[in-house]
Amino acid sequence: KQALTLPRFKAMKSQNKPIVMLTAYDYPSAMLSEEAGVDVILVGDSLGNVVLGYDTTVPVTLEDMIYHTRAVVRGAPGTMIVTDMPFATYRLGPEATLRNAARIMQEGGAHAVKLEGGAELADEIRLLTSAGIPVIGHIGLTPQSVHQIGGYRVQGKTSSEAEKLLSDAKALEQAGAFGVVLELVTEELAAAVTHSISIPTIGIGAGRGCDGQVLVYHDILRYGSGIRDKKMVKSYANIGDTIRSAITEYVDEVRTKAFPEEKHSFPLEQSSNQSISS
């Protein structure tokens, strides 16, 4: 399988082919996503919430993102991989921004990076794209700024917020971004943004009018015990319950000595050339 290229990603907008993006953070999640035919894997800094157990994405480091990107690339060698630049790593001046993004590409193996922010990032995006680093923007609710915004609420409800979002989207396109994630934006505004730029919009909690959709792996699978119900999420499985009951059964069987059985054991007389794999 061949990873989606930038030109083919952009062409999906005009061809009216919905772009399917899903997050992944490790080898098995990436492998299963590739096998299921996901167009783009996002190594999101939601890593901090769903894998590392932080309350926000703010504590996630560049090293965390590189480490997890490497595992994802090994699991999905035929899929476009986009990695989030974590908190502040693209706000420390042009040299640091370029060095940090280059590490995500070179050491991590990502094909592109994603940055949270609008028009104020135009210089950074021009710098990265001119160095051969493709960039996806991310506007609307930007979780790295949660301490600034003061909570997770729908963006673009007032006309001044809506105008700002629209001009941010245009600025991202102008600066050379090849796509824009719209998070927690009213359906009407997300559709308006989608119509007013030529690069694809990928929505999360942004309604039906975007060029593609993105969701978090652990959310669509209900994988983990702290996965809250969110209006924007649809869960297609309940893996958390499946895992918990399987582990509970294992715990119980060891304690009651129901496991291991004779068939899991290696008697002396057969053990000399017995394989462990069957």
Residue 231, annotated ligand binder?
no
Listed in sequence order, the residues at least 6 apart from 149 whose beta carbon sits closer than 8 Å to its beta carbon are 141, 142
Active site residue 262: no
Residue 46, annotated ligand binder?
yes
Binding segment for ligand KIV among 40-48, 105-113, 117-125, 240-248 (CB under 6 A)? 40-48
Binding string to ligand KIV for residues 227 to 266, with x set by CB under 6 A, is what?
A: ----------------------------------------
Q: Is 273 left (phi over 0), alpha (psi -120 to 50) or beta?
A: alpha
Which is nearest to 56 in space by CA: 133, 129, 5, 116?
116
Which is nearest to 5 in space by CA: 189, 143, 179?
179
Q: Which residue has tokens 């959310």?
A: 219
Number of residues lying near ligand KIV (CB under 6 A): 11
Q: State the nearest-atom distance from the C-beta of 272 to ligand KIV, in Å.
A: 51
Binding string to ligand KIV for residues 188 to 207, with x set by CB under 6 A, is what?
A: ----------------x---
What residues make contact with Na ion under the rule CB under 5 A? 44-45, 84
Q: Distance between CA 140 and CA 254 in Å, rounded?
A: 50
Q: What is the dihedral of CA 136, 142, 143, 146, to 10 degrees?
A: 150
Q: Is position 26 an interface residue for ligand KIV (rule: CB under 6 A)?
A: no
Among 26, 45, 173, 211, the residue binding ligand KIV under the rule CB under 6 A is 45
Continuous segment of H or E residues that includes residue 260? none
Q: State the nearest-atom distance from the C-beta of 57 to Na ion, in Å.
A: 6
Neighbours of 211 (CB within 10 A): 23
E strand intervals along the chain: 19-23, 40-43, 80-84, 112-116, 135-140, 179-183, 201-204, 212-215
Residue 116, annotated ligand binder?
yes
Q: State the nearest-atom distance from the C-beta of 217 to ligand KIV, in Å.
A: 9
Residue 10, annotated ligand binder?
no
Query: Do the beta carbons of residue 67 and residue 104 sit within 8 Å?
Result: no
Give Cα 113 distance to the centre of its chain: 11
Q: State the nearest-atom distance from the C-beta of 258 to ligand KIV, in Å.
A: 40
Active-site option among 183, 187, 249, 261: 183
Binding segment for ligand KIV among 24-32, 39-47, 184-192, 244-252 (CB under 6 A)? 39-47
Listed in sequence order, the residues at least 6 apart from 157 whose beta carbon sits closer than 8 Å to its beta carbon are 186
Q: Is position 144 an interface residue for ligand KIV (rule: CB under 6 A)?
A: no
Among 30, 44, 86, 97, the residue binding ligand KIV under the rule CB under 6 A is 44
Radius of gyration of the chain (CA): 21
Catalog residues that contact ligand KIV under the rule CB under 6 A.
23, 42, 44-46, 84, 181, 183, 204, 214, 216
Residues serving a catalytic function are 183
Which residues define the annotated binding site for Mg(2+)? 45, 84, 116
Which residues define the annotated binding site for 3-methyl-2-oxobutanoate? 45-46, 84, 114
